[in-house]
Amino acid sequence: MGSVIKVFIAEDQTMVRELLMNLLATEKNLEVIGSAANGLEAVRKINQLRPDLLILDAFMPGMNAVEVFNDIRNKLPKMRVLIISAHENASLVRQVLELGIHGFVEKSAPMDDLLLGVRKVAQGEVYFGPKIRALVRRVAGEKIEAMENLTNREKQIVKMIAESKTTKEIAYDLEISIKTVENHRTNLMAKLKLRDIAAVTRFAIEQGMVQTSSPR
């Protein structure tokens, strides 16, 4: 590969964004062609600029990395993606693996690991930071597995329960009977081995399905 690789940076933390831009400016073969500080801006600019490599912060205002990726993957199937994240979130890591994203580095990693990740992913290889590798090993099981056992309907209802919706309201919203919602609730709680609404709510928050600052 002799040509220059066009890089786009999507990162809401100004400090990190600036650092990356300065850092990559000194790299041969790389050219930073743009940046964004939130998900929507990122999607718009990426579609326009069509970079070869996207460095994407895991959590940005509005959209997370997976949502951004889903919005652009079909339009730019050859683009390579490196996720950087402040948190080693098990659920996110799993989604990232499933989506076939090429790299994931935690922000607490040494700078060398970050640069290595950028270079590897830029060259078409795959790279995961040390903590992410450890997490992938450790986490193969646990709640993520339980989460996978939930049907789409059940996931939908977990979220609504954690948002303080009552069974009646859920039934109305989904246009199904109260009894069906009760059955789904019973089944999902059994699968997750949870016994009450408080536990379901904690689970949903942990999985990033709802925020603490939900309505009501």
Partner DNA sequence: TTTTCCATGGGGGTTATCCCCTATCGTCAG
Partner DNA sequence: CTGACGATAGGGGATAACCCCCATGGAAAA
The site that binds DNA (CB under 7 A) totals a number of residues, namely 26
Q: Which of 68, 82, 101, 114 binds its own copies (CB under 8 A)?
A: 114
Residue 163 near its own copies by CB under 8 A: yes
Residue 68 is which amino acid? V
**Applying CB under 7 A, which part among 27-35, 43-51, 193-201, 206-214 lies near DNA?**
193-201
User: Residue 183: which residues within 8 A CB-CB, separation 6 or more?
Assistant: none
Phi, psi of 132, rounded to the nearest 5 degrees: -65, -40
Phi, psi of 110, rounded to the nearest 5 degrees: -60, 150
Which of residues 22 and 166 has its CB atom nearest to DNA in the complex? 166
User: Residue 53: which residues within 8 A CB-CB, separation 6 or more?
Assistant: 5, 6, 7, 8, 30, 79, 80, 81, 82, 118, 121, 122
**Applying CB under 8 A, which part among 9-17, 28-36, 71-79, 178-186 lies near its own copies?**
9-17
Pairing of strands 80-85, 103-106: parallel
Class of residue 216 by CB neighbours under 10 A (exposed 0-12, middle 13-18, buried 19+): exposed
**Applying CB under 8 A, which part among 17-25, 96-104, 117-125, 167-175 lies near its own copies?**
17-25
Of 76-95, binders to DNA (CB under 7 A) are none
Residue 4 near DNA by CB under 7 A: no
Residue 197 near DNA by CB under 7 A: yes
Cα–Cα distances (Å) from 19 to 13, 76, 189, in that order, read 10, 26, 45
Of 119-158, binders to DNA (CB under 7 A) are 149, 151-154
Q: Which of 69, 127, 128, 203 binds its own copies (CB under 8 A)?
A: 203
Q: Which of 107, 119, 120, 155 binds its own copies (CB under 8 A)?
A: 107
Dihedral over Cα of 33, 39, 45, 49: its sign? positive
Nearest approach in angstroms of CB 216 to DNA is 11
Instruction: List residues near DNA by CB under 7 A.
Output: 149, 151-154, 161, 166-168, 174, 176-180, 182-186, 189-190, 195-197, 200
